[in-house]
Structures are given as structure tokens and as C-alpha cells.
Amino acid sequence: MHRKPQHLSLLLSLLVPVACNGSSNEDSSTEATTDTTTDTTLGTESESTTGTGTNTGTDSDTGTSTGTDTDTDTDTDTGTDTGTGTDTGGKLFCQDMSATPSEITYYVSPSGDDDGPGSEAEPWRTIGRAADEVSTGDVVQVLAGTYEEDGPVYVDASGSEQAPIIFLAQGEVSMPGFELHGDHLQIRGFTIRVFSCDTANYGIFVSGNNFLIEGNAINETVDAGVWVDADSSSGRIRHNRFYHNVLNSIEIHGHDHIVECNQIESPIQRHPVCDVNEDDANGVWVFGSGHILRDNRILGVHHGEFTSDAHMDCFQTFGGWLRGDPKKNSELLFERNFCDALTHTGDVDTAGSGFTIEDVTSPDQSYASGTIIKNNTIVAASCTGGQEGTSWLSYLHNTCVTSEEIGNLEGTLGMDLWPDSSYGNSHYRILNNIYFGFSFPIYVNSDLWDGGTVESHHNLAFLSEGEPNTPYGGKTFTCGEANSICADPLFKQLSPDLIDSDFHLREQSPAIDAGDSLTEVGADIEGNIRPQMAGWDLGAYEYIP
């Protein structure tokens, strides 16, 4: 299922910033609609319209509930953040796009000349020419048009915290991607695609620190749309749209990156044109430590023409393979994401999953610095698997939904924990979740239950016929035990495909006030303060009276 990336790649499709203030399709901001048709030429023609939303809330996750937000964004956003992982109790919406710089240093135009000065009156012809010239504080504005270049544009200059180097697209700028080797670099607003299979790379390759990748369209790359090296730190990948990326849309190594407000659609294992065929088709691969992944929408992680037998996850992490990766990942936060991986071919190994978690730990042997998955909405064949080498995993206030046709298949589990034989070092918290449609909502290996530390209580499971149970002699879910509820959660509205459902709770829902008191989860998926009434509600959405 895992393999080491060998090549790089690019894409095509109009991008507008993804509205981001929660994670399911019922967001109050206008959602994106995409009409996509593939032909035999390189790239995919994609027409997209996306509302920008009006999200202005900020976030400074610090680990205690303070009710205040202190993080701010300016036009010199360098990708840094003060967050360390838990809610502040305030509104937790994505911030707006970075402001457009007021001064432009250099200009590039399809009608320009690389022998000129790069001024507004006499722009350069190629983005590569500008990359050779830039220094700290420079802003390069690239005018609308197509730039084939000679492959990805290589940038090794560095900016500074107060004066980053910015490459800014004006209008639709189609080009073959970037390789970023300096620090404090920003790539904003480009449409990246494959021009030639011979020169196809990642959409954007990053080995520097304090970078910002924002507002780009990255489609049909032959490998990850954005790939971040193990030596990199403190970057931000936000408000981008990814479509038909081979293997995964985003792959991050290093430490302290933020991946937020991106929309990922239909990852694939085989490229439509280039001779590239992989085993997986995932949304995001995560390696390293200190990363925050929040408010992302991952859609269409489904089997199809280019994904016939792929292993498919919205998010996956496993043991580091790249030089510089830790053997085990730690201090990972996944929150307020929406995942659509509702796919099953009959083979449990290729069933769509929300999260596959392997080789994670905690540097100080605490849940606070382990892996936290909270306030997510997952529509999938399997919500989460905790596999080899997994410990210090918190799974809190998630709404997990499947179709009962898939949920009744043998081997399909809402929560599946079988870490390895080192059960004495395996620590899990499975609290305040909703599992809808799963015959087997939670499975914990019996040896793990007896030899590890597993807290599993205050969860709700529902089947329209019969009672959910725990298979294979495992433990942790029996109706009525450990404050577990078997009842219809009474979502506001369920759509036929489940993806367009409204997973807010109705007034009569048994999930209201039924949760354990988790002070570290001070707000829900939309930023509403928990609790609203007598107690914490189950699932990702707090009921608002």
C-alpha cells in the first residue's frame, strides 16, 4: 500500500479560494460546483465556481479554553502559527485570503521579453526569468496566460519573515509548477498542470521553511499536488483546490505545518495520459510532527475509471520512509475536516476510509502530544483504523456515517484498532462519537483491550434494523454499557448519497447532552461553544437551542 514517491507533477482547473468554516456540505458559505470532462490531451478541462465565504474568525489553539483568539494574518503571512492543538472556545473559522501586496517589483507577461527589465511597461516573458532575479521582499506579478517554461520553476532565493518573496498570479495563469528551495516563499493563485509527461513533477515541491501556498488550482499531477520535504518547517497550505492527483493530493514531511481550507476532489491511482500507475489514491499523507490539518473538504475518494483497485483514505500516516523523517509521527491534530470516502469494491483492503493511522506516538507519553482526531465529519466505508505502531490516539466528537449496504459488509468497521503486539504501550481514547449505519461500530483487538489502555465510552451507534455489535471476539461496544447508546441520532436531513446530508442534531436527538465532559474540546465543528446546555453533545455538531 505504501511506496516512495519517484516523480513529480502538475495540473489544470480554475481555482477560487475554498470557503471554509466547518467541514460538511451544509456550510453556510456558498460551496463549489465543478463540471469536469477528460479528453485525450494533457490535463483536464475543469470549470469551477466557488464562493469565497465571509469567514473572519481566527484561531490560536493553545490547549486551554480561554474564549479568545489571538492569531492574525497579514499580507506578509509566512505560514507561522501559534496553535498547538486544542480549541479556545471561540469561533474557529478559516481566515480570509491574504491581502494583495500594494507594491509590485517585477512583472511577467506572455507577450513580454526576458531581455527586458521586468517592469510593468516591459515585462519578462517567463516566470523562470523572474525566479532568477528575485531577492528578499520582491513581489512578482504574473499576468494571465499560459507559461510552458522548461518544467517547474526553480526558486532558491529566500525572503524574510517581514519581507517574503511572493509570486502572484493575476487572472488565470497556467504553468507547470514550482520547486521551492528557499525560505519565506509564497505561491499564490496559479493553475498548475502537466504540459509534458517527460517533464511532469509534483505540482509544487517545497524544501524550505515558512512558506505559503495559497489559492492555487493543482490538478492531474503525476504525483502529489504539493510535496513538502522532511527538512521543511512552519509552512501553510491553504485555500487550494486539487483534482485528479495521482497517489495523493498533499504529502507533508517535516514539522509544524498547517494544512487548512483546501478542497481535494477525486484522487486517482492511474494518470489519464501519462504512464503512471500507483497502489493508492489518497487525499493527504502526513509524516513528521506538530502538524495541524483542519477545515479541509475531501470529496470523491471513490473507485472509478482511474482507481479500480486502489487503497483509498482521506488522511493517512505511517512510519517515516524519507531521510529525515522520524520513525514515528507525533503531535498531529486533525479537526473540522469533511471526508467523503464512501466506496467499497467488496475487498476490505480497498474500502474507502476516513483515517488510516499507523506509527504514531507521543514524545512525552501523553494524549496532548499524541494524535488527536476531533470534530470531523466522515462519510466512508470505514471511518478510522488504528494500525501497526499506533499509540496515544484520541478520537473525540466525530460523526461517522456509512450506507447500511456497505456498513453490513463483513470486515467493514466504524473504528478498527489492532496496533501490533506491543499492547502495553497502546493508549486510546474513543469518546463522544456517533457511528451511523455500521453493524460493527467499534472493534478493539481483545489482547489490546486486556493489555493496553483503552477508554471507550459515551458513543452512539445506530442501525435501522438490529443492534450494532463488536465482531471477532473484540471489545468496547455493547448497547447500554459504558454509557453507550443504540438509537437514531436524528440528524436534521439525510440525502440519498449521504454526502449532501445535514448532520446537525434535531431537538429530540438522544445525542444531546449525552457526552462525557471533555474540556479540551471547547467548541464544535462550526466553532459553537461546548456545551450549549447541560452537557456535551455527541458527534461533531453541538445542538444550538
Has residue 452 got a pLDDT over 80?
no
Q: What is the mean pLDDT of the segment spanning 144-173? A: 96
| pLDDT band at 409; cut points 50, 70, 90 | low
Has residue 82 got a pLDDT over 80?
no
Residue 4 lies in a domain: no
Residue 192 lies in a domain: yes
Has residue 134 got a pLDDT over 90?
yes
Which CATH number is 230's domain given? Answer: 2.160.20
Query: Whole-angstrom Cα distance, residue 204 to residue 127?
Result: 14
> Which pLDDT tens digit goes with each residue over 236-268?
999 999 999 999 999 999 999 999 999 999 999
Residue 263 lies in a domain: yes
| pLDDT band at 414; cut points 50, 70, 90 | confident
Rounded to the nearest integer, the mean pLDDT of the chain is 81
Residue 413 lies in a domain: yes
Has residue 394 got a pLDDT over 50?
yes
Q: What is the pLDDT at residue 419? A: 67
Residue 12 lies in a domain: no
Residue 421 lies in a domain: yes
What is the amino acid identity at position 241? Answer: R
Strand ranges (E), 236-324: 236-238, 241-243, 247-252, 258-260, 263-265, 281-286, 292-294, 297-299, 313-317
Q: What is the pLDDT at residue 250? A: 97
Dihedral angle computed from the Cα positions of residues 292, 297, 300 and 306, in that order, rounded to the nearest 10 degrees: -50
Q: What is the pLDDT at residue 79? A: 34
Which pTM was predicted?
Answer: 0.84
Number of domains into which the chain is organized:
1
Return the percentage of the chain with pLDDT > 70, whole number.
77
Has residue 231 got a pLDDT over 80?
yes
Q: What is the pLDDT at residue 473? A: 58
Please give the grid coordinates belonging to residue 471. Answer: 465482531
CA distances, 25 to each of 31, 38, 48, 452, 502 (Å): 7, 25, 16, 37, 7
Q: What is the pLDDT at residue 200? A: 76
Has residue 55 got a pLDDT over 70?
no
Q: Which of 99-108, 231-240, 362-371, 397-406 has the lowest mean pLDDT?
A: 397-406
Q: Which of 55-64, 320-329, 487-496 has the lowest mean pLDDT?
A: 55-64
> Which pLDDT tens digit goes with each residue over 2-39?
433 333 333 333 333 344 544 333 333 333 333 333 33
Q: Which of 307-316, 361-370, 499-508 has the lowest mean pLDDT?
A: 307-316
Residue 539 lies in a domain: no
* Count of beta carbons in the 10 Å neighbourhood of residue 101: 18
Has residue 433 got a pLDDT over 90?
yes
> Which pLDDT tens digit goes with each residue over 83-122?
333 332 333 467 688 898 999 999 999 999 999 999 999 9
Strand ranges (E), 371-448: 371-374, 377-380, 382-386, 393-396, 399-401, 415-417, 427-431, 434-436, 442-444
Q: Which domain holds residue 137?
A: 33-44+81-92+99-505
| pLDDT band at 64; cut points 50, 70, 90 | very low
Residue 15 lies in a domain: no
